[in-house]
Structure 1
Amino acid sequence: MSESNPQNPRITWEGCSVLLDINDGDRLVFARLSPSSTIKIGNKKCCLSPLIGCPFGSLFQVETGPKGPYLLRLSATAAAESDHLKEKDDSQPTEGTNDNRSLIDNNKAQSLSGEDIDAMRREGATGDQIIEALIANSSTFDKKTLFSQEKYRLRKQKKYAPRVLLRRPFARSICEAYFKKHPARIGFMRVDALSLLLSLADVSAYSDVLVVDMVGGVITGAVAERLGGTGHVCNTYFGVTPYPMDIVRIFNFNDQICGRIVQTPVADLCSNQENKIEHFISHENTSSLETQPDADERSLSTTCILSDDAILEVQSVQEEISNDSLVKSVSVSETFISSGNGTSDHMDVDPCSTKSLDVIHEENASPVLKTCKSVKPGRQASPEAIKLWKENGFTSLIIAAPDLDTWKIVEELLPLLSYSAPFAIYHQYLQPLATCLHNLQTAKMAVGLQISEPWLREYQVLPCRTHPFMQMSAFGGYILSGVRICSNKPSHQS
């Protein structure tokens, strides 16, 4: 989603990621919308193009037309009537004269055959009409209890008229979907554990959060979502290969939020970067001056801005603008564009914008502005940003690395935090966190240490049938939290 063409985040667009909830949670599918994308529901293959341009929360039903199965969007009135009918049936008492003791399942109660159903489909009957025909031709439907009738209707609706709910992917829905489908990919982290992790780490606007994310990127995406385009999320890693964070791409972040997600190895954060930064800047100045031929020169002043109110460095660069065709990509606060007739056009660019513009100059033609590709999350952190973090420290630390030694990670990264900064560590098992807590207490590196075990129970709330769900998750991992304090041991900040 580009900032030059802002999209309504409540309405889908071509290329966005969506979460498709099929038959009220029976199946969860992540999909990227395009005119050619399809999804298979049962034995029917439907195109996802009708979903483009619809608001999140829309309800669709699979219907069969002359060209095959397709997704039909249900109006708000039809969906409300269906929900009202269901609530009306649920509100009625289940006790009555009818019971299921005399019913025998011998496959003879239904007089409507499969050939009759296929004939109705060829004639253009909708899924709801087929369901009503099945109920009318069932000899045992009226003898069942109201609860059994509703279960029968729901079972037939899932088979002959499946429904698809268009959900917006955000931290909660993504975590719930992965925990249900592939819990190992997110370290068996439940949604309540993720929310508690963000709260204990005090993730808020304008924070600089250091993250070790080895659970697919769900923590990085959740932190960036809570920051809302302010502050930074520094995803650090050990070695030379960054940890995968494919889940971040599902969040539909705009360029502003994607520009706040950076990556850098632990070695760059822990080593002395001052000489390296000076060498990098001097090398950039030298290379830019060497590439300039002896011609008319114009001074271009650029300002490197790390955050909204922190100006790191002002650098002056001599840059040539000739009458020939020239393509130059710039991202500055103020730019003067020289046209072919020698006049200067002034263009103001938002300094907070993270996208760059291609400025194309042609002889005897006006400048043409083209928007570059969208900013991808996970770019390498700049040396200026690393220097600032080494001087001031990070405001929060979140670790979710089940495959690494927890204490070794904490011992290496905790000195990178500013004093009185909170940290939170997630692990699937208790013992690594208990060992880390003992070592932190012995070294007097943190206070307020505690290990929390999140607990979640989901209830079914219906008249006369309110009880916990029979199948539920009894385990959501453990979280070690605390606050960093000043210790006698030398830190990386000094």
Structure 2
Amino acid sequence: MLENPPKIKIGDFIILQRQKYMKLHKFGNIESSAALGKDQLELRNIEGHPYCSTFKMIPKETRGRQRITALELCSDKDMQDIRDIMNNAESGADNRNIKDDGGSQKLGNEEILKLREDIGDSKKIIGTLVENSTSFQSKTVYSQEKYLKRKEKKYFEYVQIRQPSIRMLAEIFYRQDPDKIMGLRIDSLSQIISYSDVNAFGKFLLFESGTNGLLPAAFLNAIGSGTKGKLVHMHPGNVPQKQAIQALNLPQEQLDRCVSVNIYSVLREFYQGKEEEKANVEEETEESAAKRPKLEEGENNTDEKSKSDEKVKPDEKSQKWKLENKKACDLMKEKFDSLIVVSRDHPLNIVKELLQFIKPGRPVIVFNLSKELLMEMYVELKMLSTVTNLHLTSNWMRYYQILPNRTHPEVQMSGNSGYILRGTSIN
């Protein structure tokens, strides 16, 4: 455990976790609250406590169908595992004699509601329900676990405040709407990061067309703070998606390592800059003898030049995208250590355009939900001979329930999480 764990402070993004359910929320001010199911949590008591602290939900009042709930820091006694109930409970060999007729619980609905109002302690409530269940001791250990989990979900009155991480953000975004992050599951995200060879000293070029900022956030997190690493984040829209980046609560120094630019705007400026440089070289060659003495005669020209620069600066500051484009163009001239393209559309033209900015012998990674698009791209890149050692792979992460004599995949799980085409640049 860390000696000085990070503390919860106003302005942070936090993750509220109740059992396995997690929700991202911004702790904007001392009076802010967060909806969690039918409960409206008042967050004023969480400020200053270490992350991963657990709080007990204390009901204050009911407004319609919503409960207004305060949070109280848990003591060591409150932190005891609710499954201690099972320590002295017997279990059966199988469930063949159990009848699901609704009559195994001695307590009625009204008695359970009264019990919840009088006791208010979820552990005691579940313990009472177990004691009054005629079938609990006949259930197998696995069935008892399932029973307790169902009751926990209904009566569990504890919330843990977590510090956002890439893994948790990926899980939250995927659960909410996989399409908003292009079906990018945590296993595919981890492989993209691994294949790209991201480190603290390189420069990396990323194009993505909408993942709630999950990909640039993952790359910034891997580059780290206080390093020399740089990330150019290209996107097709006017404003980059940065929800995941903001949620990580990164220091400004680390945020400055990411340059977000519109791909069409920055490419136009890059090519225009090359044409202007070429024109300037030709003009300098033709008129250098005539212009140089005039500039050396006095300081008036220099003064006028500095004044004109001062007039331009405020305008550039007011348009941040111009400064970002300039930074990106400078890095594009130096070239990058890897190229990552995560596109909703056909990625071939984007990859062909951006390959010129990648150093030879560097990784090229393309992610897409369509296998057919990447197969077309595989053939095209083979013909162009710009990328070698091409591999097309798919990911299928499966969760398993492992118990004695009961090992099998989970019944409900997500399917394929897209396809990855990877290779090595040779241009």
TM-score (norm 2): 0.78
For structure 1, list consecutive stretches of 5 or more residues without a partner in the other structure: 1-7, 292-316, 318-327, 329-377, 487-494
Q: CA deviation at 1:411?
A: 1.2
Structure 1 pair 383/148, CA: closer, same or farther in 2 (3 Å)?
Answer: closer
Residue in structure 1 matching 2:247, options 245, 250, 262: 250
Equivalent pairs counted in the alignment come to: 385
| Residue 389 of structure 2 corresponds to residue 448 of structure 1 | yes
> What amino acid does structure 2 have at the position aligned with 1:232?
K
Mapped partners of 1:228, 1:392: distance in 2: 21
- Deviates further, 270-279 or 468-477: 270-279
User: Equivalent residue of 1:405, what SS?
Assistant: coil
Report the alpha carbon displacement of residue 66 of structure 1 after superposing the two structures with TM: 7.7
Q: CA-to-partner distance for each residue in 1:243-263, whole Å, 9 max, x for gaps? A: 433332212111111111112
Instruction: Work out whether residues 82 and 123 of structure 2, in 8 Å CA contact, stay in contact via their aligned partners in 1.
Output: no
Structure 1 CA distance for aligned equivalents of residues 245 and 362 of structure 2: 25
- Structure richer in strand, relative to its length: 1
1:142 and 1:233 map into 2 onto residues whose CA distance is 58
The verdict on how the C-alpha distance between 1:468 and 1:441 changes in structure 2, with shifts beyond 3 A counting, is: same
Deviations 1:442-473 (A, max 9, x none): 11112222112223222223344333222223
Q: 2:135 & 2:40 partners in 1: Cα distance? A: 33
Q: Deviations over 1:241-283 (max 9, x none)?
A: 244333322121111111111122334344142687999x999
CA shift digits 1:409-428 (9 cap, x unpaired): 01111101122222211001
The question of whether the paired residues in 1 share the 8 Å contact of 2:259 and 2:328 is answered with no
Query: Aligned to 1:474, what secondary structure does the other structure show?
Result: coil
1:234 counterpart (232, 235, 240): 232
Residue-by-residue CA offset, 1:375-401 (whole Å, 9 max, x unaligned): xxx966546634532332111111111
Change (3 A) 1:66 1:128: farther
The answer to whether the Cα contact below 8 Å between 2:119 and 2:125 also exists between their aligned partners in 1 is no
For 1:217, the aligned partner's letter is: G
User: Structure 1 residue 285 and structure 2 residue 306: aligned?
Assistant: yes
| Counterpart residue number, 1:473 | 414
Aligned to 1:164: 159
- Give 1:436's aligned residue: 377
Aligned counterpart, 2:51: 56
Q: Percent identity?
A: 25
1:398 aligns with 2:397: no
| Aligned 8 A contact 1:65 1:124 in 2 | no
For residues 300-379 of structure 1, the aligned pairs below 5 Å read: none
Q: Secondary structure at the match of 1:271?
A: helix
Range 201-210 or range 99-108, more displaced = 99-108
Alpha-carbon spacing, 1:282–1:147, altered in 2? closer, same or farther (3 Å): farther
Alpha-carbon distance in 2 for matches of 1:145, 1:54: 40
User: Which of 15, 26, 32 is residue 19 of structure 1 equivalent to?
Assistant: 15
| C-alpha separation in 1, matches of 2:396 and 2:305 | 53
CA distance in 2, matches of 1:56, 1:464: 38
Query: Helix, strand or coil for the counterpart of 1:244?
Result: coil
User: Structure 1's 162 and 379: CA in aligned 2 closer, same or farther, altered over 3 A?
Assistant: farther
1:1-400 paired onto structure 2 within 5 Å = 10-24=6-20, 27-33=21-27, 34-64=29-59, 69-75=69-75, 78-79=78-79, 81-82=80-81, 85=84, 95-96=92-93, 100-123=95-118, 125-214=120-209, 215-229=211-225, 230=227, 231-238=229-236, 241-267=238-264, 268-269=266-267, 270-273=270-273, 285-287=306-308, 381-382=323-324, 385-400=327-342
Q: Give the aligned residue type for 1:264.
A: V
- AA aligned opposite 1:70: A
Contact 1:262 1:379 in 2 (8 A): no
Cα distance change on mapping 1:290 and 1:156 into 2, 3 Å:
closer
Greater percentage in helix? 2
Taking structure 1 as reference, are residues 86 and 126 closer, same or farther at Cα in structure 2, changes over 3 Å only? closer
Could you say if the C-alpha distance between residues 213 and 282 of structure 1 is closer, same or farther in structure 2, counting changes exceeding 3 Å? Answer: farther
| CA deviation map 1:97-150 (0-9, x unaligned) | xx5444444444434344444444554542222222323333443444443333
C-alpha distance 77-481 of structure 1, shift in aligned 2 (>3 A): farther
Q: Give the whole-Å Cα distance in 1 for the aligned partners of 2:146 and 2:12.
A: 35
The residue identity in structure 1 corresponding to 2:230 is: H
CA deviation profile, 1:335-356 (whole Å, cap 9, x unmatched): xxxxxxxxxxxxxxxxxxxxxx
How far residue 167 of structure 1 moved from its aligned partner, in angstroms, is: 2.8
Match of 2:354 in 1: 413
